[in-house]
Each structure stands twice: as C-alpha cells, then as structure tokens.
Amino acid sequence: MRCGLIFSMRKIQYYYNPDTCNYEKVKPSKLRWIRNAVIYLLLALIIAAGALLILHRYYPSPKEARFTAEQQNLEMKWQLLEMEVESLNFLIEALWVHDEEIRVILELDSLPLVIRMAGFGGARSFKDLLSRRLIFEQKIVSVYQRIEKLKAKLHIQEASLDTLASYANERDNFWACMPAIQPVDNKDLRRLSTVFGMRLHPIYNKWMTHRGLDFMGKTGVPVYATGNGTVKLAQMTYGGFGNLIIIDHGYGYKTRYAHLNLFNVVKGRKVKRGELIGYMGRTGRSAGVHLHYEVLKNGVQVNPIGFFERELGEKEFANLLAKAKQATIPLD
C-alpha cells in the first residue's frame, strides 16, 4: 500500500514507501502525461511561430526581398504614369486655348465644351480587363479610363486642327484673290479721281453715274492685277470702255480695267496679284489718258478705294490723297 510523505526534487515527485522503507518516484497518470505533452507542444509552436514572424519581418528571404523591390518599383512607375496622364491632360487643355484663339482670328464658331470633353465607351470598354480579377482592379481601371479619355480628346483636337488648317488655307486663298492693291504704281500716277457716283460726264456734258476710280498717267504706264484670278475678257469693246480686261477673282469679286493701250494677257489666263496685265491708254470714250478701274461684288460696282487704301503706308496714302485733290473730275 502506497503511503507516506510525498515531496519533489528537481520537479520529480517522490513518496515514502513504508513497506520498503525507501523513497520511490511517483509515476504520473497517462492523462496528466498527455496534458503536459500538449502544453509543451503548444508552447513550442507559439515560440516557433513568433520566431518565424520576427525572421520574416526583419530578415526576409532573397525571394521576398526581390518581390518587395519589384513591388516598390511598380508603385513608382505607377505614380509616374499618373503624373504623365495629368501632364498630357494639361497640354490638351492648353491646345484648347490656342485652338479657340485661332477660331476667333478665322471668325469660326467656338467648339462646344461638350464636344471637346469627348465621351467614350465607359465600363464596357474594360470588360476584358475586369474579367481578369486583378488585385488593384479599381486603380488600374481608373487610369485606363483616363488614358482612353485623353485619346478621345486628342482625336477631337486633331479633327479641329484639320478643320482650322483647311479653313485657313481657304482664307489665304480668299485674301490672295481679294482686289486689295492699286492697279497703278504711285510713281507712275499723275492724278487720281476718287469720284464714285454722280458726276458731269466730260464728253456728253450731262450728269451720269461714275462707278469706278480714274488713275491718270502717261500712255504705256503698267497696269497690274489687283488680286489673283482668271482673265475672263481681254479685248476691244464698243460700249465706251475701249480695250477692256475683266478678271474673275472668285468669291463673287470681279475687276475691270478700261481704256487700255495694250494687253499683256489673254482670255483664260491665270494671273497673280501684282502681275502686269496691260498698259494705260485712252481707247474708247475717254477725255484723256487714264485707267478706269472698277470692283464688282456679286455683279454690283462698289467703291474700289476701300479695298486698297489699307495696303498703303502712311506716306503712300498721303501721296494718293494729294494726287486725288489735283483732279476731282473723271475722264470718262
């Protein structure tokens, strides 16, 4: 029978056996042994897990270190991409400003903002991207949407610039065709009659309308085309204008050059502004050597003085006015 005092030494329990008069070890039960084993095992697992966490945090493996470095590199590139998108958006908006300034100069309507903002396909355009279930799905889709928006804006701006270029070329052609210079050089000009309207006819001696300007000089003074165009007539006429040249400039404009001495062009020829087309004379009904010059807009004569006075410098215009004061009566 087991009895007597039980005590432990170094965590080993002993009891006194009176039958043998000796101290013998206490043998633990199986349940207690299993419980102790489980406790030791759990403690060992907790210590091991803590050690692994510390090692993982402060001493990553080479593979983990490469992954972390690659992730940081991708984050930096992503931030740079977002900055580039913002920069491109700023440049496009700067193009809008210049585009509108050019439209004002060319007298074109402003392009509405709703068109400039350029819509696109929306979420459906990224169906394939969304189907991949990416980790940073929203962030990636957001940047892709901004890029698609930029592309759409650029297409709109490209179309607008094409329109401006086409219209500018047409405007260049228009200004080149406008009858915008004097048909006679100031150095060859003796006098100028600016009477446009009713005047006393120098030959018929009665009041009649005068629908042009009379440039007076010597026989043979060069006469120049006042704008680009096509010669529609270059021949002797019998209605009072004598040798007459008519140039069609397009855009509803025509010019007439009457009482010429000689022609330097023929019907059908293309001429440029400033090109020599004939020489001053006094053919037809004329009271003296001069060039009768007319500008017609949609078949109606308009005062030519308003077309070329803006092309003259201050001294040239003063000279023109001085010559105009010398002769107020037309010669035809």
In this predicted model, what pLDDT tens digit does every residue of 95-104 receive, in sequence order?
A: 888 888 888 8
Contact 279, 296 (CB under 8 A): no
Structure token pair of residue 178 = 């406008």
Average pLDDT on 189-216 reads 71
Confidence band, pLDDT 50/70/90 cuts, at residue 232 = very high
Answer yes or no: is pLDDT of 292 > 70: yes
User: In this predicted model, which residue has the larger pLDDT, 204 or 292?
Assistant: 292
- Largest Cα separation within the chain, whole Å, is 174
Q: Which residue matches tokens 């009659």?
A: 193
The pLDDT of residue 153 is above 80: yes
Predicted TM-score of the model (pTM): 0.57
3-state secondary structure of 31: helix
Confidence band, pLDDT 50/70/90 cuts, at residue 224: very high
Model confidence pLDDT, tens digit, residues 1-49: 445 454 444 566 666 677 777 776 766 677 777 877 888 888 888 888 7
pLDDT over 50 at 183, yes or no: yes
User: What pLDDT does residue 318 have?
Assistant: 61
Q: What percent of the chain has pLDDT over 90?
A: 24
Residue 279 has which token pair?
């020489």
* Lookup result for tokens 């969304």: 130
Q: What is the pLDDT of residue 88?
A: 83
Highest mean pLDDT among 62-76, 124-138, 166-180: 166-180
pLDDT at 1: 44
- Give the bridge partners for 210, in sequence order: 197
pLDDT at 129: 55
- 72 vs 124 pLDDT, higher one: 72
Least confident of 49-63, 225-239, 313-327: 313-327
Query: Percentage of the chain surpassing pLDDT 70?
Result: 73
Strands (DSSP E) found in 76-188: none
Task: Pick from 20-24, 204-208, 280-284 the range whose average pLDDT is largest.
Answer: 280-284
Q: Of all helices (H) and strands (E), which one includes residue 70?
A: helix 62-105
